[in-house]
Amino acid sequence: MENNNKINGINNPHDALFKSMFLVKENLQDLLLGTLPKEVLQGLKPETLEYDPSEYIDDELSPYFRDISCNLKYGHRNIKISLLYEHKSYPDKNIHLQLLRYILNVWENQAANKQELTPVITMVFYHGKRKWTDSGFVKNVPEELKRFVPLFDYTLFDTKEIEDHAIMQHFRRPSVKVAVWFMKRSDNLLSFMQENPELAREMFMQIERIDENLFQKLALYLYSVSGAEPDKIDAIMETITQQKQHPFASAIRKLEQSGMEKEKKQIAVNMIKKGSNDEFIAEVTGLSVAQIVQLRKEAI
């Protein structure tokens, strides 16, 4: 079988899960409430959260970050919170420089649109293997020169710093709990489940409360990062739950079939463009003639 990450066009499962989870407003609100400093939460009004469709990641930052930006009310004024997903597997000593460039992009965009410049809270979501270390920004600055150095901070959520069991209490929404746990254990997800069946069982109890679309994203992530076939996932799930066929393996099969169907249709469209007749395309792809007729209409 080809690389599992190609199913449904997903090239980076971490990026895909991050975006799909936190582009759901309630999930982002839950993440912010569980990670922002208490003194910030006191004035924050999460119910006013609105996504900002603007892109602030430039070409220099794109190899390092994916972002989700939103606007909220803080007291009686507007602020912007940008959740930046750090997808390197190691901390970066120049993180402040990267974040400063990002903040500048936000402010330049606001200025170009004749908007008031707002405070920007940057939050780094990190799930790399190494412990996050922050070496600071400009070091050893004499007191009289500090006013010439930009002073700002960021909020870090390092999944390695939260205990597995604590995730259950730390967040309110089931999809956020499972997604954070999956990303925390992404480098050894299936083996960790086998070694910790009680914790896995507790997490999987959240499944029936998760929206079907997000559940499929979680299933695809499990499939992608583990690299395991559905049959192997079935076998592992049987050691964790009493169900003969676990919903994760079932969802994975559906996703795989969906990916195969999509690939067949793409082949059919290519053959239509090359002038092949419907019967021949049906014979090659296994699609019905009716499906090919519909594809031909859509291709015109």
pLDDT of 87 reads 60
Report for 52-66, 104-118, 193-207, 255-269: range of highest mean pLDDT: 104-118
pLDDT class for 4, splitting at 50, 70, 90?
very low
**Residue 131 pLDDT > 60, yes or no?**
yes
Query: Residue 243: how many CA atoms within 13 Å on its side-chain side?
Result: 13
DSSP-derived letter for residue 161 is G
Q: Please say if the pLDDT value at position 253 is more than 80.
A: no
d(CA 121, CA 254) in angstroms, rounded, equals 39
Q: What's the CA gap between 195 and 199, in Å, rounded?
A: 9
**Six token digits for residue 73:** 């009310």
Quote the pLDDT of residue 134: 80
pLDDT at residue number 57: 86
pLDDT beyond 50 at 7 = no
Judge residue 24's burial from the number of C-beta atoms within 10 Å of its C-beta, 0-12 exposed, 13-18 middle, 19 or more buried: middle
pLDDT band at 10 (very low <50, low <70, confident <90, very high): very low
Q: Are 109 and 102 in contact (CB under 8 A)?
A: no
CA distance 113 to 130: 40
Task: Tell me the backbone φ, ψ of residue 170, rounded to 5 degrees.
Answer: -70, -35
Per-residue pLDDT, averaged over 258-269, amounts to 77
pLDDT at 29: 95
- Entry pTM: 0.77
* Residues in CB range of 100: below 8 A, 6 or more apart: 150, 152
Answer whether residue 62 shows pLDDT above 70.
yes
Report how many helices (DSSP H) and strands (DSSP E) the chain contains, helices first.
13, 5
Per-residue pLDDT averaged across 87-92, rounded? 65
